[in-house]
Amino acid sequence: MSPSASLLEVESLTVRLPIEGGMREVLHGVSLEIRPGESVGLVGESGSGKSMTARAIDRILPPGAAVSGQIRFGGRDVMSLGGADLKKFRGEVAMIFQDPRAHTNPVRRIGDFMTEALCTNQGVSKQDASRRAVALLKDVGIEDGERRLHQYPHELSGGLLQRVMIATALLTKPRLLLADEPTTALDVTTQAEVVGILDTLRSDLGLAMLFITHNLELAAAICDRTIVMYAGQVVEVRQSNRLHDEPLHPYTAALTAARPSIERTAPRLLAIAGRPLSAFEAPETECAFAPRCPYAQDVCRRARPSLVELDGGMTRCVRASDLVGHMELSAHG
Amino acid sequence: MSIAAGTATTVARRRAWSGAQGLTSPGIVIPIVVIAAATIVAIFGPLLAPYDPDLPDLSQFFVGPAGGHLLGYDGQGRDVLSRLLVGARTSMIGPLAVTVLCMSTGSLLAVAAAWRGGLLDTVLSSGLDILFAFPGILLAVLSAAVFGAGLIAPVLALSVAYTPYVARVLRGAALRERAQQYVAALEVQGASGVAICFRHLLPNMAGLIVAQATTLFGYAMVDLAAISYLGLGVQPPTADWGVMVAENQQGIIQGYPIPSLAAGICIVLVVVAFNILGERLYERSETRR
Amino acid sequence: MAEPILEVKGLRKEFGPLVAVDDVSFSLPEGGSLAIVGESGSGKTTVAKMIVGLERPTAGVIRACGADRSLPPRSTRERRRRGREVQIVFQDPYTSLDPRQTGEATIDEVLRLHRGWDRDRRRERIKQLADLVGLDDRQMRALPRSLSGGQRQRVAIARALAAEPRVLILDESVAALDVSIQAQVLNLLADIHDETQVSYLCISHDLAVVRQLTQETVVMWRGRVVERGTTAQVLDDPQDDYTRRLRASVPRPGWKPPGHTVAPAAV
């Protein structure tokens, strides 16, 4: 496998879930790829499907989910993995979540759940596993790791616990880290620290990362590439450093424009009417964003647009080539 | 690396369990049908009975099903079916009274304790804990010994015995509701505690209250039937399922089990129906959050 | 100088050995808009709760609309009276409405509390409030579970305004909303501020929201006020270390996270 080949490839992923009596689409034709060592941001609001994408990749979708499409990790088809292969996969792809407390057993000590995966799946001795855990805790900025191993989750603050979860995720030396809104529940100062840790460790270990967030600025700041999702579809893929100034899709522009600025007060924010939709709420015969889009024209309502390449990125807007560089990005003119 | 055509695959091998069954599922419909039947019988029993339940035919003691008597005669020559139909009334009224008393007292205590918290909560909880120590039947037997046999004393005694359980369960739910932000918003608006408790806390606990009441009915029915069986509740010759089990026991030994068993089966059917319904309703109320 | 519509002096709250709020003072001029900025553990929410009477201060003075309210109200009547002075919109749109009440019924209940109006007059006022917060008839008659987070917050805002308060406390009121919805609600709040002259006390950890909505800012850290000034001053030229760190932690184009720091030995 050549070094530039993808680590993770998702192709036309469509997921349907049993919701209120019927199977409804939550992801529609999602395609993305992550190269080894690359950090990719996945941005969206409610219903965008960003969390569901990560869960599909990690094979932890809710029961009753119907999946079509392909997910390939290191060339292997993820959906058909089983038994020992699945265990190996879990060691190579790690996931951290928004609320560490919901994913830790309150009656088990930190040391116990940190070393669990290593001991059971990779046959490492408890002693060795603990030593590795302490070393990793140091890497995430927790100096007194020995002491922490004996503590319970409730004895740690949210930020500290999230650092522990990062360390736990890295213990199995994964090649890909899926981070589902890992800092959303944290204070902004703690967020900056945690994100800094992730950044450093990533580059040290050559770890690829999919960073899921609703915060466009955060994703763009720490990821090489950013993917924007709306209504269960990918609507834009762009180099992060160009996303803010030259988005390729009106939705991205709208997200940028809607955010108040920390530097200035706007007389009025550029808010678009309506609310973000889930895949099953979006019309199938036109662009999902058309009902709310300030640049929508007839051509947008004729068919569901497909994802096309443009200017080094990808966009699902049929008018993109006309609109790039001309969209309103802020209320400040 | 081949690119295979996507095929739909179901990830989970088992059906998604939504956590609660719909109102039309068999687990809810069947018990309701049974309970409805029992209620109709309880109300219209005397009209439905083919024969006079108290009139004995002295030539037919413990005779099996024959000639128009679907379930035969009991130990005193009375038509078993008619007695069952009429007996439904006393068998259902007692538990109804217990349920109404317990649920009303229990909810009030629970909400008061949750709303006020502090000393009131501590005192009420401790007091109720003490009452917990007394099993219902024991209290009922004692009350019958003190006040004489009949339905009223055991009903009151069982109400006293069950209320702590109800109050405890409802107190937990009341505390959860009280912690919701809309309650704080109403406090800041200046709504009175009473208004908040009755217009907001209790209605939001309605699902749980109904579930509790249903289960409680079943338990009360068993206990009261047992009391009547022991001769301390409803007195013969009044038709009552518990009484019928007792007064026809001899029949089982003599080879005529139907009068006694039929009454027992009626009790079991209705109690089980209430229990199952109560459980299903409880599941629904919990998963609705 | 006119008396501030809300004034807090030397406010203190202890929870056992923990000092959650320590000597906090600030004043909100009538028609103005003041932010209390802080992260978790700063005590800002406790301050809000003390002002509306949901917590009892350990020490300090709170005055609103010319009357003292340093202690929680003793009677329901007093609570109601104070409800006409200061109201609050909470953060969580999912628990701040009674799930069994339509928006219409929620506001009607509040109107009945404060006013002796007949049904028609109340209905008229409900329509007015619904228009003010941008909700149509269908949405007002729906139960909360059919409404989105943004719509629920609008109902919560309408409910607070139904009491016609002079001060509206916004306790992280937009924090739980999607970005595009947040913008709608921020615009709405600005409109309401202009139309009704209500004064805002905005509790938030989000500096951009604070910039958009307020004129003055007070920064709290671990129960204390560490910086104060006009919002522009505090955000453009922070003097205190904590405020600087807070400002520097906000992601923006070109931002890189600070080199990772060692976690303090204490929790």
Ranges of chain B whose pLDDT falls below 70: 1-22, 288-289
Q: Residue A253, Cα to own-chain centre: how many angstroms? A: 20
Instruction: Find the CB nearest A188 among C187, C231, C249.
Output: C249
User: pLDDT per position in chain C (267 positions), as tens?
Assistant: 578 999 999 999 999 999 999 999 999 999 999 999 999 889 999 999 999 999 999 999 999 999 999 999 989 999 999 999 999 999 999 999 999 999 999 999 999 999 989 999 999 999 999 999 999 999 999 999 999 889 999 999 999 999 999 999 999 999 989 999 999 999 999 999 999 989 999 999 999 999 999 999 999 999 999 999 999 999 999 999 999 999 999 988 778 887 655 555 444
* Calpha distance A291→C200 (Å, rounded): 34
Query: What pLDDT shows up at residue B289?
Result: 52
DSSP assignment, residue C230?
A: E
> Do the Cβ atoms of A251 and C180 come closer than 8 Å?
no
* Calpha distance B29→B279 (Å, rounded): 13
Residue of chain B whose alpha carbon sits nearest to that of C160? B189
Query: Does C52 touch chain B if contact means CB atoms closer than 8 Å?
Result: yes
* pLDDT tops 80 at residue A28: yes
Instruction: Find the CB nearest B16 among A14, A18, A75.
Output: A18
C 53-82 residues with CB < 8 A to A: none
Q: How many CB pairs under 8 A join A and C?
A: 142
Percentage with pLDDT > 70 across chain B: 91
B 10-29 residues with CB < 8 A to A: 10-12, 14-18
DSSP assignment, residue C130?
A: H
> Do the Cβ atoms of C3 and C16 come closer than 8 Å?
no
* Calpha distance B236→A254 (Å, rounded): 81
C123 to C105, C108, C120, C149, C162: CA distances (angstroms): 10, 8, 5, 24, 12
Query: Does A144 touch chain C if contact means CB atoms closer than 8 Å?
Result: yes
| Strand ranges, E, within A4-97 | 8-19, 22-34, 39-43, 66-73, 76-77, 93-96
Residue C27 has a CB neighbour count (10 Å cut-off) of 16
Query: What pLDDT shows up at residue B8?
Result: 29
Instruction: Find the CB nearest B187 among C54, C96, C163.
Output: C54
What's the token pair of residue C142? 């729906």
Mean per-residue pLDDT of chain A: 90
Sheet hosting strand A233-239, strand order edge to edge: A93-96, A176-180, A208-213, A39-43, A225-230, A233-239, A313-315, A308-310
Query: Does B191 touch chain C if contact means CB atoms closer than 8 Å?
Result: yes
* Calpha distance C222→C21 (Å, rounded): 8
Q: How far is A103 from chain C (nearest CA, A)?
A: 20
Q: How far is A297 from chain B (nearest CA, A)?
A: 33
The model's pLDDT over A56-110, given as tens digits with 9 standing for 90+, comes to: 999 999 989 999 999 999 889 999 988 888 888 988 999 999 988 888 899 999 9
The model's pLDDT over B65-90, given as tens digits with 9 standing for 90+, comes to: 777 778 888 878 888 888 888 888 88
What's the token pair of residue A120? 């059971």
> Do the Cβ atoms of A208 and A34 come closer than 8 Å?
yes
| Partner chains of C (3+ C-beta pairs under 8 Å) | A, B
